[in-house]
Each structure stands twice: as C-alpha cells, then as structure tokens.
Amino acid sequence: MDWQSWLIGIVGRALAFGTPLLWGTLGEIYAERAGVVNLGVEGMMVLGAFSAFAVAQSTGHPGLGILVAAVVGGIAALIHAFLTVTLRANQYVSGLALTMFGLGLAGLLGRGWEGIPLRQPLPSVTVPGLSKIPLLGPMLFEDQSILTYTGLILAVVLWLLLYRTRWGIVVRSVGESPATADALGVNVFLIRYLCVIFGGVLAGVAGGFLSVEYRPAWTEGMTAGMGWIVIALTIFAAWDPLQAIWGALFFGALYHLSYRLQAWLPPELLKLMPYAFAILVLAIAGLSGRKRGAPGALGVPYTRGEK
Amino acid sequence: MKRFGPFLFERRLAPPRSVVLGVSMLAVMLALLVGAAIFAGYGVNPWHAYATIGKSTLGSRYGLMEILRRAIPLLLCGVGLVIAFRAQFWNIGAEGQLLAGAVAATGMALFSGIPGPWLLPAMFGAGFFAGATWGMVPAFLKVKLRVNDVISTLMMNYVMIYIVEWLIHGPWKGPTMRGFAYTDTFPKAAWLPTLPLSRVHWPTLLIGVVAAILVALILNRTRLGYEIRVVGESEGAARYAGINFLRVSLWVMILSGGLAGLAGVGEVAGIHHKLLSPTQVSMGYGYTAIIVAWLARGSPVVAIVTSLLFGLIFAAGDVIKTVLRMPFQVTGVFNGLILFFLIGVELLMYWRVRLASRGERWTGKAGSSGS
Amino acid sequence: MAIRSIPKNSLGIPTTAPPLLKLRDIVKSFPGVVANDHVSLEVQAGEIHALLGENGAGKTTLMNILYGLYRPDSGHIFIKGEEVHIRSPRDAIAHGIGMVHQHFKLVYPHTVAENVALGLAGTPFWQPARVVERGLKELSERYGLPVDPRARVWQLSAGEQQRVEILKALYRGAEILILDEPTSVLTPQETAELFKVLSRMKQEGHAVIFITHKLGEVMEVADRVTVMRRGKVVGTLPTAETDKGSLARMMVGREVVFRLSKGECHPGEEALVVEDLHALSDRGIPALRGVSFTVRRGEILGIAGVAGNGQHELVEVITGLRRAQRGRITILGEDLTNRSARRMADAGVAHIPEERLRMGIVPGMSVEDNLILKKHHRRPFSRGPLLQLRKVHAFAKRVIEEYDIMTPSPRTPAKLLSGGNIQRLILARELSGQPGLVVAAHPTYGLDVGATEQIRQLLIRQRDAGVGVLLVSEDLEEIMTLSDRIAVMFGGEIMGVVSAGEASLAEIGLMMAGERRQAQEPR
C-alpha cells in the first residue's frame, strides 16, 4: 500500500478512534477542574455503550441511543457526586466502586444483546466540498462521525468557556481553592455536582459512540480500559481542553496501529500498546513537571470551616 | 452540633471500634437490600434467591469449601493491599501481579526441569518474585516521576493480561490441548494438594494466614512498618523525618505484589493445573481484594475475615449463575454496591445521636482549643 | 438616668444612635469546647473597633459567624437596626459585610482581576476580568491601595495580596469590613500604610472590625475595643479610657509579665555557620541570595522579617529538606551542606517546624509513636529491623511528664491534642535528644499565653545549657524578647545583624523593609 493511503488511513482512523477518548477526556477535565477526580469513567462509558445500543436497537433511532447514553452517564456520575461532594467520601474509592458497579451492571443487563449487529447504526458523514481537497480531504472530511466533528467543536467551546468567561473563573477557582470561592458566595457543592455530572454525560456519549457507530454492536467490556486512558489523558493534556485533542488523536492513532500492524506482530502484544504508552506518557509528563498544572484542591473533599 | 426535634447530633472525633463494626455491617446490609431489588428486577424472588444462595454456600460442606477456596487468593491479595493502603499506595494492580505470579509458576512447572519435591517451593518463590517485580515498577515511577499510582498499576494489569494472552496463544500453547488456548497440564509434582473432596489447596491457605500474621507484625513491630505508617498518614511528616520514600515504597510494593503473585501460583498450581486465559485464572480477585482490604480497615488479621465474606460472594455468584440462571456479572454489581455503601456510611461513624434534655441547647466545657 | 452630653465618634455620629452592626448573645460550640459563650458586640459606622484576645479566645469564630462561614447555635444579628439571618457568605456580602481573613482566601494562580471577579454579580459573562480591571483602578485610587490588576496573585508580596483582599471586599460594596490579624504579614512601615487606609475608610463611613492580639495596635488605631477571653466578652471600652496594662489583664485574667527572665549570654564555640547560601523557592525563583551568619552555642539568634523573604527556605536548607544551589553549612564543626534530613537530625540538629500539623506530627498516630519520630531508626528505639516497644513506652512516659504534655494516655492519637500540647510534644521529642543546634520556626504561633510562656522558657533553658538556637519568627516582640542577637532578612538576604540590647524597633523595621544597615556588626 502506498504511503498516501497509509497516512489517510491512520489519520482518518485516529480521528475516529480518538473521538470517544476526546469526549471522555473533555468531561473528566471539567470534573477535575472543579476539584473532583472521577475514576468511574470506565463504568460510565460502558453503561453509556450498553444503553445506547439497547435503545438504538429497539427503537431504530441511533441518535436517540446517544441521547439516552448521555443521560445514563449523567445519572451514574450523580452517584459519584453525591458520595464525594455531599458525603465527602474518598474520591478514588468511589470512582473505583462506580467502575465495578458499571461494568457489572452493563454485563448483567447486556446478556441478551451480545453479538447482534446494530440494525441502524449512526451514519457517517462526508463533508461536501472539503472532502475533495487532495490528501487532506479524505483524511479529515470523509466518512467521519458527526460526533467527531461535534467533539472537536466542543473542545474549542469548552476551552473558551474555561478561560474566557465568568463560569470558567468560577469552575477553576472551585478546583484551585474551594475555600476562597466559598467565602465569596460561590456554591461550591453545586458547581462540583454540575461539573461531575457534565463529565458523566460526556462519558456516556463516548461510550454510546462506540456501540452505535464505531463498532456497532454490543460486547461485554467493549470499552476495554478506555476509561482509564481517559484519566491518563486528562493529566497529559494538563487539564486543557484544546490539548486534549492532540492526546486523543495520538492514542486514536495508537489503537489503529495496533490493528494495522497485526500482519507483522502478534496481535496480543500489539493490543497492549495503548496501555504501555499511557504509562510512558505519564512518565514523560512527570519528567517535564506537568503535574504542577493540577488544580490545587484536586481529590480533596471540601468542608466549610475545616482547619 | 445540630438539633433536630428531640435529638441532638454531636460530632465525634474518634469513633470506637464497636461503632466502626456496626456501621460496616450496616453498609453490607444496605447493599444486600439493593441487591434484593436487582433480583426482583430480573424476575427472581429475592427471598428465594438469598435462601438458595445461603443453602448452597453455607448450608453444605461443598459450599463451605468453595467459600474457602475462593477466599484464598482474596486473602493473599487482600493482605498485600492492606500494606499498600497503609502507605497510601493505591495498588489497583493486584490482578496483574497475580497473573505475573501465575506466569512465573507456569514457566517453572513446564520448563524448568527442577526435580520433584523442590518444584512447588520453586514455583512459589518464582511467583513471589514475579509479582514483586511487577509491583515495583509503579512504585519507582510514582516516587521518581510522580506518575499516578492508580493509573500505572491499572495499566500494568492490562499489559500483563495481554502478555498472558500472547503466551497461551503463541509460544506456550499446549500441543496437547487440541486447539484450545491453554498451556499443557502441569506435571504431577507441580500440583498442590487439596483438602479431601474439595478444591481447597491448603498450602496456599496456610501461606495466606501466615502472611496475614507476618504483615501485622511487620506493620506494628518493625522499623519498616513504622515508616510505612508514617508515609501513609502524613507525607509532610515523613519528609520532615527524613524517611526515604523510595525505599519504603519499593518494600511496600515488593510485599504487596509478591503476595498477589503467590495467589497466582495458588490458582494455577492448585485449581487449574495449567495456564488459562486471564479471566479464567482470576475472576477479578485483584479488584475484589481492594474491597477486602478496605473493609479490613488497615488490619491484616481482620482481612482473614473479610476475605471469607467476599469468598462467600464469589461462591454465591456461582450459585446465581447455575441455579438462578443470572449472569455471573451480578457479583460485580454486588461488589460495587458494598463499596458504595461502605464509603457512604462513613460519615455516620463521626456523628453521635442522643436525646436532648428539655431546654438543652448545647453542652461542652469552655476550653482553649478552636478560635 | 442623669442627663449628660451625648458622646459622638469622629464622624459626628452619636454613639447612642442605632449601631451599624449589632451581635447579641451569640453562642457557638464545637466538640468539647464553647467557642462563643453569649457574646454581644456593637459597632458604629465610622468606627474602628478592635476585637482583642489571645489565641483561642473566640474572636475568629465570632467573625466567621458574622461572615456566614459558621452558623451560630443561637443568638441574633442586627444590621442598621433590622434583624438579619446570615446563612452563608453570600448573605453576608449581600448585607454589606466583607472579610479579610488571616490566611488569605485567594486563588494564587489567577490574576488579581480574576480573583476580584470571582462570583461577582453584575459582571458580563464574556471576559468579566476586563471590566473588573477598570473598576479596580478607580477603587485603588479612592482608598490608596495600589495594585496591578493583571498581575498573578502568587507573584505579589503579602502586603499587596492583602490589598487585593481589601479591594475584593470594597468592590462588593462592603460597609462593614472585618480584618483578621492583618498586620501579621506586614512590616512596621506597611502596617502604618494599612492604618492610613483604615482611617480613609472611617472617613467614608465604613465600620471596621479589627481582630488582633497585639495591644500596641489596639491603642494606636482603634476607637473602641472589645476584649474576649475563653469565649466570653470581658468588656467593651473606648481606647481613650484604658491602657495596655489593663487590657492585658482583661485579656489574660491575671497580671502579665512582659519581660521574660533571661540570664546573661555566654556564647561558646560555633554551632552553625552559614556561608553564602543560595537556594531556590518552590516556584524556581531564587529565595536565598547569599546568606551568611553564625550561631554560637549558648546564644539565641533571632531571624526577623516578614514572611516570604526566604526564612522558610533558609530553615529547610539548614534542616536538610531543601537543596542549596551554592554555599556551605557547617554544623558543630562538620560540613553538612546538602545532606539529607536524616543526616542532619543524626548530627544533633533539632527542628521545630513552622507547620505543626502537616509536618511536625503524624496526626493519626499515637503520642507515643510521635515521640520517637526522627529517632525511630536508632537505638534504643530500634535494634536492627525491630522496634523496641518497651523502651518506647518508657521513654514516652518519662517525657510526657517532664514536658507537661496533657494527654489522656500515651496511646491517644496526636490529632486529639490541643495546639499547645502538640507543640509540647514536638519540643519534647526534639529537645530530649540533647541537640547541639535547635532550629525553631514560629514556635509559639497560634498558642495561648500559658503555652507560649512555657515554650519560650524551654528555649531559653536550652540556650542556658549551651545549645545554639536559631529562632525564626514573624512576631517581632518575640524576637526582641528572646534573642541575644537579631538578624533581619529581606528579599533572601541578611540586611544586618544587631545585638538585642541596642536594637530599636524603627531600625529593625527599616531593615525588614529592605534598608540595609549602615554599620557592619561583627558576626
């Protein structure tokens, strides 16, 4: 295969497979910017994947499936928010519990739905005009998902929101120094709830994309640890929505390569590439002092008046 | 302090052990209640479900043995995680460390050529070493490069899972297995003895109990244990006291990973007698052990009890699958629920309720703390 | 009632007019302690009202209630004669109450304008900081609080950060301004500037409540003072009608001795020699720029200076917790530059840390376990890998009694102890090992008078026994009372060293603000 088709294939598929990573990371960025770590992304994604498939399969409307997935993700995140913000429980453990619960519940409910191809998957989109541009056209504008383009636009919007608006100042302050925000009348609890739920909504959509467009089918555990990659990406992107795009693209490319190279290397060893790279990526971030960008109060439950 | 009607709620600074126990049991009860709702949602009568589970697990000799054999890897991994958690090292990688031990044991059993009576000890040694090594990498990364321990240990799980997949599909694929992705069966010298009429490979159980006691001693009576506790309670104080973080973290993960590795040895040498696919070797023991350790609240000896509890849940999962015809994943749901409620009720431990006498608004003596 | 002329305050408002703010019978308790015991307070518009009391008297709790951070168990709050219910800072701000906390509530990575714009109603959704920048310029001028709205807060000095806090409150229309121990981070000159700003506020008709434990400031700037002790109000009177002695007596409840009994200084050989020390702060900025001084055995060298001028980094370098880029540290004759904290401790350096709870103790572990913290790896507490628990018990029992540590049992978790007892624990641990050099950072911060006196006595006793003591403190009075010689730090350098007898407050104040001393003192 000539290098041009190779390049088109890699970038095109990187965009596609990076989409759920992007959506998930954008959501987790907002949750963590408000100071709450949500390790339940894997659980929320898989619940989103299942509910999207189930709804799309039974109603024939894939878009509805995505919508329901968003709601389901939000509800799952609500549990986490309640435990960590109101009851001030340990954020790491709560997230782990959510993942265990989500994987179990999705597996439980999904029993009858496995292996059936989706009868009406979300159609892919080819941008008229732009897709005719040599090389770039087929790479970026042909045969992609609406969710891919929406995700990219969302990243820009979320960036603007975070750094250029009143809401952004509030969210960032709640994550850096909740006591400060509280003393100025900001409702820290409410902001944290909203950001965590928002993160869940986006994670749900990410999962829905997998089962309704990318694959499209339901298999137990189809998220295959993507939720954990999202958590790593959040750190690697330095909690910046625009940088999340590059991280998602990079890992999208990695996933694609792990399929592409199967002709030359054992498939199992290729499959471990994304996970090994996640560690590598964090190690590099650690070398460059990236952790310094973490929101100051990340992972710490907030109690008013605590000394 | 708040007052609601005739009740006065006071904050408590250090809950007594009876309260901790009571609240923990409450959490489990609540989880079982929600579980009943799930049974009902699936169309199964909750009473019938629990009764069947109870009869098949606690009510028969075979059932009790099954609980015990499920508890073995939970105990070993759980004790290892107790150490890790005491040092605030979030070792989510017990699953991978267990598999590493299984791989090492398999290698020893099938390819090392070590004679009869030495083979099993060699397998345990290799398993411990493999698990310890697999655990040391995240420790090093955390201290030197500030890599998040949750992610690094988790990612190592996936890496090891795929290594096992590769081995059983590739170089270690058993030629006698007629196309199935297993290794060959181990030679008899590599089989662990079991209690009669059960699958309880008692040498591993013994190792587990001994490990629990040893770890308790280490934590409470040695220099290393003292430093582990300081690091876990207060990073600032540990730094101030000149405690070497790298040394402590490495030791913690050597122990934690090594114990999980031993669990892996037990599974392949005691139950399966070959290396299978990762999900068949460990049905989430490494993850469930997190709850075992959490519920044990830092005590390795209490982990013996909590591992039995979760052994029960696993055994119940089998019953649910075969008798009640529900998928095995329901155990994941139960585990998640128990963990949710455990952390959810924690606040309750810190509040005390009593009846306020008439007109009483507050109590307490004037003192000098708090400004 | 006899008819007499109605007293008026400086604004001409009669003091018998309804006050701008009135607190009546406020009660607030926490587990085990009553912080506010039926406290009542009245403040007029155009008045500077001091709230005086030692640490733990309940002043900050009271103000936190007023600002909505705590809810009182019972009591009433009236503003301009009408009862109000303040359930959160939002309510407080709506009622015109603003508060400058002792530990600033600022988002350090953000700009000044972003901090002021946080949660501010009436600002535009898009780029609110821009609008706020303009408004800030106006306010700065009116009240004399110059600050750059685009600067990032972490880059500002403590005095400038305080100005941001005040501007934050004023921007929100605060009529009642509460300041909690505002001068603790200021040089004497900056304090004078602050008092000028407060006068400006008085003239503009604001009511200012000024929490402090410093008698001098009360007499200098306040119109009236309310003294609190152990959660109760002891009395309220105009400052014109009282003096430092009476206030002190009201504050403490007994006669206060202002000077500690301190014998002659007999300095011996060098305990600590610091030569040309350079080090970076956490943010990578040079924090120590060539610091040199000596501490001899048997003397106390006090390091004076406003926090943030390198003292924190200096202490950390000397105790092995931070790398020195350049320079040399010689302790008791040994070159111990850039050695580990453990090596320093083993060499006889005792460190009483600034952050008691975060560094000085392990809050979750028992008193006993805490007492062996830095020596746990050595005999007699350890032999090989094993702890010698019986020796630990015996040591703990002995030392708890010797240092008067009040604890229900040696097994009690250290976090349950009061602040004073925690500090006693730390001192017991550090001083019982017969150190050659004691590095004490802010040792009496936040403690009540009893504990403060005791700890100062302990330090003096060490010095009398021939130990070298390096004392770092923001409390200038403490430095002047305890030290034999005083070195002043500013901007990472030593501005000058004077002996305690000949030092004047003005001279030291100048050095704290960056004026180098003219005559050189032999080191």
CATH of the domain at A133: 1.10.3470
Model pLDDT, residue A260: 83
Phi, psi (deg, nearest 5) at residue C56: 95, 0
Choose one of C252, C272, C293: the last residue of a domain.
C252
Model pLDDT, residue C214: 79
In chain B, residues with a C-beta closer than 8 Å to the C-beta of C341 are 239-242
| CA A75 from centroid of its chain's CA atoms | 16
> B137 pLDDT exceeds 80?
yes
Looking at the domain assignment, is residue C4 inside a domain?
Answer: no
> B361 pLDDT exceeds 60?
no
Phi, psi (deg, nearest 5) at residue C330: -115, 120
Shortest alpha-carbon distance between residue A165 and chain C (Å): 5
Range of C424's domain? Answer: 358-434
Euclidean distance between CA atoms B13 and C379, whole angstroms: 34
Coil, helix or strand at residue A264: coil
Model pLDDT, residue A307: 32
> C4 pLDDT exceeds 50?
no
> C106 pLDDT exceeds 90?
yes
Model pLDDT, residue B357: 62
Distances (CA, A) of C196 to C48, C199, C208, C210, C236: 12, 5, 13, 14, 24
The pTM of this model reads 0.86
> What band does C510 get if pLDDT is binned at 50, 70 and 90?
confident
> What band does A28 get if pLDDT is binned at 50, 70 and 90?
very high
| A184 close to C (CB below 8 A) | yes
> What band does C77 get if pLDDT is binned at 50, 70 and 90?
very high
Number of domains in chain A: 1
Sheet holding C468-472, edge to edge: C349-352, C437-441, C468-472, C300-304, C485-490, C493-499
Quick one: chain B helix, strand, coil %, rounded to 5?
A: 70, 5, 25
| C95 close to A (CB below 8 A) | no
| A10 close to C (CB below 8 A) | no
Q: Residue by residue, what is the 3-state secondary structure of B226-257?
A: HHHHHHHHCHHHHHHCCCCHHHHHHHHHHHHH
| B51 close to C (CB below 8 A) | no
CB B336 within 8 A of CB A100: yes
| A39 close to B (CB below 8 A) | yes
Domain shared by C277 and C199, yes or no? no
Choose one of C217, C252, C287: the last residue of a domain.
C252
* Torsion angle, alpha carbons of C145, C146, C152, C156, to 10: -80
Query: Which residue among B362, B366, B370 places its CB closest to the CB of C73?
Result: B362
Range of A225's domain? Answer: 7-293
CB B364 within 8 A of CB A125: no
CB contact under 8 A, A269 and B163: yes
Number of Cβ atoms within 10 Å of the Cβ of C27: 18
- Average pLDDT rounded to a whole number, residues A180-190: 91
Q: Ramachandran region of residue C122, left (φ > 0), alpha (ψ -120 to 50) or beta?
A: left
**Residue (of B70, B111, B76) closest to B271 by Cα position:** B70
Shortest alpha-carbon distance between residue B332 and chain A (Å): 4
CB contact under 8 A, B163 and A271: no
Domain shared by C83 and C162, yes or no? yes
> B355 pLDDT exceeds 80?
no
Euclidean distance between CA atoms A180 and C99, whole angstroms: 11
CB contact under 8 A, C108 and A166: no
pLDDT, tens only, B184-206 = 888 888 899 888 888 899 999 99
The answer, yes or no, to whether ipTM is higher than 0.95 is no
In chain A, residues with a C-beta closer than 8 Å to the C-beta of C61 are none
Euclidean distance between CA atoms A235 and B108, whole angstroms: 40
Average predicted confidence (pLDDT) for chain B: 88
Number of domains in chain C: 3
Q: By CB neighbour count within 10 A (0-12 exposed, 13-18 middle, 19+ buried), where does B158 fall?
A: buried
Reported in sequence order, the residue ranges of C305-408 that DSSP labels E, i.e. its strands, are 326-331, 334-335, 349-352, 382-383, 386-387
Shortest alpha-carbon distance between residue C347 and chain B (Å): 13
Looking at the domain assignment, is residue B145 inside a domain?
Answer: yes
| A112 close to C (CB below 8 A) | no
Model pLDDT, residue B233: 93
> What band does A121 get if pLDDT is binned at 50, 70 and 90?
confident
Helical segments of A34-61, H only: 41-59
Model pLDDT, residue A33: 96
> C8 pLDDT exceeds 60?
no
Domain shared by C81 and C205, yes or no? yes
Looking at the domain assignment, is residue C199 inside a domain?
Answer: yes
Range of B176's domain? Answer: 72-297
pLDDT, tens only, C245-265 = 788 778 776 655 555 567 778
> What band does C11 get if pLDDT is binned at 50, 70 and 90?
low
Q: Residue B57 corresponds to which tokens in the numbers above? A: 């697990």
Domain shared by C332 and C446, yes or no? yes
Query: Which residue among A88, A271, A286 places its CB closest to the CB of B146?
Result: A286
Distances (CA, A) of B262 to B100, B224, B314: 9, 22, 20
Residue partners of C272: CB distance under 8 A and separation at least 6:
C294, C295, C318, C329, C330, C331, C437, C468, C470
Domain shared by C445 and C429, yes or no? no
Euclidean distance between CA atoms A2 and A5, whole angstroms: 6
Please tell me what DSSP assigns to residue A217.
B
pLDDT, tens only, C294-334 = 999 999 999 988 777 899 999 999 999 999 999 999 999 89
Domain shared by C128 and C228, yes or no? yes
CATH of the domain at C463: 3.40.50.300
* Start-to-end CA span in chain B (Å): 16
> C402 pLDDT exceeds 60?
yes
Of C9-18, C60-69, C92-101, C173-182, minimum mean pLDDT range: C9-18
Residue partners of B266: CB distance under 8 A and separation at least 6:
B72, B73, B76, B192, B201, B204, B207
Higher-pLDDT residue of C517, B137? B137
Euclidean distance between CA atoms B328 and B309, whole angstroms: 17
Looking at the domain assignment, is residue C8 inside a domain?
Answer: no
Looking at the domain assignment, is residue A64 inside a domain?
Answer: yes
CB contact under 8 A, C89 and A172: no
**Residue (of A154, B190, B1) closest to C28 by Cα position:** B1
Average predicted confidence (pLDDT) for chain A: 89
Looking at the domain assignment, is residue C27 inside a domain?
Answer: yes
> What band does C16 get if pLDDT is binned at 50, 70 and 90?
low
In chain B, residues with a C-beta closer than 8 Å to the C-beta of C448 are 368
CB contact under 8 A, A89 and B290: no
In chain A, residues with a C-beta closer than 8 Å to the C-beta of B327 are 107-108, 111
Domain shared by C269 and C340, yes or no? yes
Query: Which residue among A164, A170, A296 places its CB closest to the CB of C118?
Result: A170
Compute the half-sphere exposure of residue A75: CA atoms within 13 Å on the CB side of its CA.
10
Model pLDDT, residue A114: 83
Euclidean distance between CA atoms C121 and B261, whole angstroms: 58
Angle at C285 between CA C280 and CA C286, to 5 degrees: 50
Distances (CA, A) of C306 to A230, B119, C488, C492: 45, 69, 9, 11
Domain shared by C308 and C382, yes or no? no
Number of domains in chain B: 1
CB C465 within 8 A of CB C297: no
Residues paired with C229 in a beta bridge:
C232
Euclidean distance between CA atoms C510 and C506, whole angstroms: 6
Euclidean distance between CA atoms B45 and B58, whole angstroms: 20
CB A179 within 8 A of CB A19: no
Higher-pLDDT residue of B353, C416? C416
Domain shared by C492 and C408, yes or no? no
| A188 close to B (CB below 8 A) | no
Euclidean distance between CA atoms B242 and B238, whole angstroms: 6
Angle at A177 between CA A232 and CA C181, to 5 degrees: 155
With b for 16 or more beta-carbon neighbours within 10 A and e for fewer, the C219-229 pattern comes to bebbbbbbbbb
Looking at the domain assignment, is residue B369 inside a domain?
Answer: no
Euclidean distance between CA atoms A95 and B252, whole angstroms: 24
Domain shared by C221 and C287, yes or no? no
Coil, helix or strand at residue A30: helix
CB contact under 8 A, C359 and B237: yes
| E strand or H helix that includes residue A3 | helix A3-33
